[in-house]
Every structure is written in C-alpha cells, then in structure tokens.
Amino acid sequence: MKELHLISFNYPYPPSYGGIIDVYYKIKALSDIGIKIHLHCFVDSIPETVDHEIKSITANIFFYKKKKNPFYYFSAVPFAAAIRTSDVLFENLMSIEAPILFEGLQTTEIIRRLKNKDYKLYLRFHNNEAEYYKGLSSSEKNIFKKIIYRIESVKFAGYQKKLLKEFESVFCLSEKELNDVNSYSKNARLIHIFHGNESVKHLNGKGDYFLFHGDLSISDNKKALEETISMFKTLPSHRLVVASDRAGDDLKKKINNIRNISLVPIETDKNLRQLFENAHANILLSYQNSGTKVKLFNALYNSRFVIINENITDDSALTGLCRLGFTSDEIRQRIIETAAEDYNENEIRSKVLEENYSDDAKAEEMSKVIFKSWPLLLFSGY
C-alpha cells in the first residue's frame, strides 16, 4: 500500500476556513484512492478525542503543541515556522518510511534535519507567505500587529527563496502561486484547491438575501466586511446576512444598528449550506492578491449569484462564473443588477466545475507525482 506523511499546520477538522478546508478534503480524497495517511498536526492544545471523520481517513494521527515562547519573534526563521517544530515529529517521521507532504511553508522548519535522510519531500504551497503577511500588515489597524506582520513578511521572503528548491514538487493552488514558485525553483505544479463539493446544487429563481461569510478574525476579511456594510447602508431595500462564528462585540453592536443587515453564527456545516441555499447572491471581496480563495468554490457549488472583486481568483474560467467589479461603485452596481434577476446558471456552472475542479481528479494527479517511482520501490521491498 502507498503511504504518505502529511504535516498540517493545524488540526484539520472541522473544515471551516480556507487552508484547513484544503487540508481536510485533500486527506479525504487521497484516502479514497487508497493512500495510507500518517497525519501530523501542530495545535495550540492537544484534543482529548479525535473526530471520527479524521480517524476514518487516516492510519495514524500525531499531535504536537505549537511553541509559545515569544522570543521566536526574534528568530531569523519566520515566527509561524519557528513555533512548528518538534523532536518527536522527527522521530515519528523516521519510524515510517514514506514520502512527506508539508502543508504550507509554516510546517517546514524541520526540513533542515531531513535533507540527508533520503526522504522524498513535497510542499503544498498555500500562499506566497511574504505577500500574504505584507497584505495582512496593510489591512491591520493595530500598530503592533502591523509591525509584526511586516517583519514576518520580510523573513518569509528570504525563507521561501532559499527553501523552495528543496522539494521534489511544490503543489500550487493557482496560476499566481505557480508563477511565483517557478521564479525561484522551477518545480511547481498546479493542483487547484480541494473543496469537498461533488456536484453543483441546482437552484432557481431568487433567494432571500445577499450573503457575506468568512473568518472575521482575519484582517483582510474584516476590511472586506467593512466595505460591504458601507455599500448596504446605501441600499436599504436589499438585505445582507453576515455569517461568521468569529464576530467580535464591536461588530455585533455595529450591525444591530443597521436595519437591513443581520449577523448569523455558523454553527455547523449544515447551517452554512442552508445559508448558501437561501441566498440570492454572495459578496466575496479581498484586498490580497493570493490566487483563488476556497470560499469561492463553496459559493459556486452551493448558492446562486457570486459577486467578486479581482482578488478573489486569478482563474479566468472561475471569473466567468461570477459577476466582477473592480471598484466599490461597480460592486454596488452588481448588487443592484443581480437583485433584479432570476438565477438560471446551473448548467454552465455544472459543466465548468464538475469537469475541471473535481477533488478525485486532483488526488489522482497528486498521487501520480508523489508515487511516480512506486512500482520500483514496491519491487525492491519498500
């Protein structure tokens, strides 16, 4: 049986936000095609129990606590990577001979101990971290966090330039990341986001509201929501639902004072799916140019219209399924236009998404790359 170590930056359940959605559904898809997964997770605190959904798709699961020493901020290694290393992880990797897939650059600090161990190393490149932290710094209002993010950006710029050449292949989520990696190391491959959707939900007519959903602990999402709220304050006849399980008290107070905007917690995946199903259009905005956002797939598979700005995706096929606006005025106009329309785009959406973005196809492609010499290894007693 083919075996694979997968090192995750966090525990991948529930799959409720960007990167973790990709991790969870990637594990599931690889498991479904017969690959035995040894999962390693860096966490703030080790859970008392492991969810059945993770147990059923992994052979082993190991937990390591992220380090909490603030002096890692002064390390030459980016803080996000410096806190994710462990002697026990190294021992566990050495105990099972299998290729290693790192989920994001933040899990790769241990690679310096693996270089001469004859292990095949692969990277899932979730972000150009230097640009990601630079974007966080630009969006952040807290001056201390702004400085920390900027320093992290500078550290990651040097870190990824040096490290990307160490991998057999780097699996990128979008054309932008593909080009970024190839400018350093020429070992990039495009494998789109694993999103867990199998078929497009067929919906017709009109929904009940416009929907904004996202992790509101992230500064980019906070900024996007502020812009969205500003637009809907000038559109009192259109209802906006903000869905998030990480809304602060200030936001709750702000929304309570606006008649056509309401805040709904995301309690379960089923709850989120119902919000998608009843929405007329989704508002997806970002101020960071970092490839395709995973929440775009969830909206396209499970809801009606999707209104985006140019930073949500750099994939022209996906952009063609959305209503695009480059400025606030253009986004506002798309809201007005879609409010008057009946939705009837099920067929074209099904054709594009189900033929080109299926998780099964992505898992098969990734497996072929990682296990390209598998028959020889198997024959030699691997």
Evaluate if residue 246 carries a pLDDT over 90. no
The pLDDT value given to residue 373: 59
The pLDDT value given to residue 291: 74
Q: 3-class DSSP state for residue 111?
A: helix
Residue type at position 302: N
**pTM for this model (two decimals):** 0.82
- Give the number of other CB atoms < 10 A from CB of residue 236: 11
Give strand pairing partners of 279.
209
Q: Which of 14, 12, 10 is nearest to 271 (CA)?
A: 14
23-27, 280-284, 342-346, 369-373: which has the minimum mean pLDDT?
369-373
The overall longest dimension of the chain from CA atoms, in Å, is: 70
Distance of CA 85 to the CA centre of its chain: 22
Q: Kindly state the average pLDDT of the residues 153-172.
A: 95
The pLDDT value given to residue 296: 94
Instruction: Read off the tokens for 235.
Output: 């559109």
Residue type at position 287: Y
20-29, 131-140, 330-339: which has the minimum mean pLDDT?
131-140
Give strand pairing partners of 8.
41
Give strand pairing partners of 169.
122
Let me know if 37 is exposed, middle or buried by CB neighbors in 10 A (0-12, 13-18, 19+): buried
Evaluate if residue 272 carries a pLDDT over 90. no
Domains and CATH numbers, the chain: 3-196+358-373 (3.40.50.2000), 209-356 (3.40.50.2000)
Evaluate if residue 381 carries a pLDDT over 80. no
Mean pLDDT taken over the chain: 92
Q: Kindly state the average pLDDT of the residues 112-129.
A: 91
Evaluate if residue 377 carries a pLDDT over 80. no
Give 59-63 contacts, CB < 8 A, sequence gap 24+: 59/3, 60/96, 62/38, 62/88, 62/89, 62/92, 63/11
Evaluate if residue 199 carries a pLDDT over 50. yes
68-77, 117-126, 243-252: which has the minimum mean pLDDT?
243-252
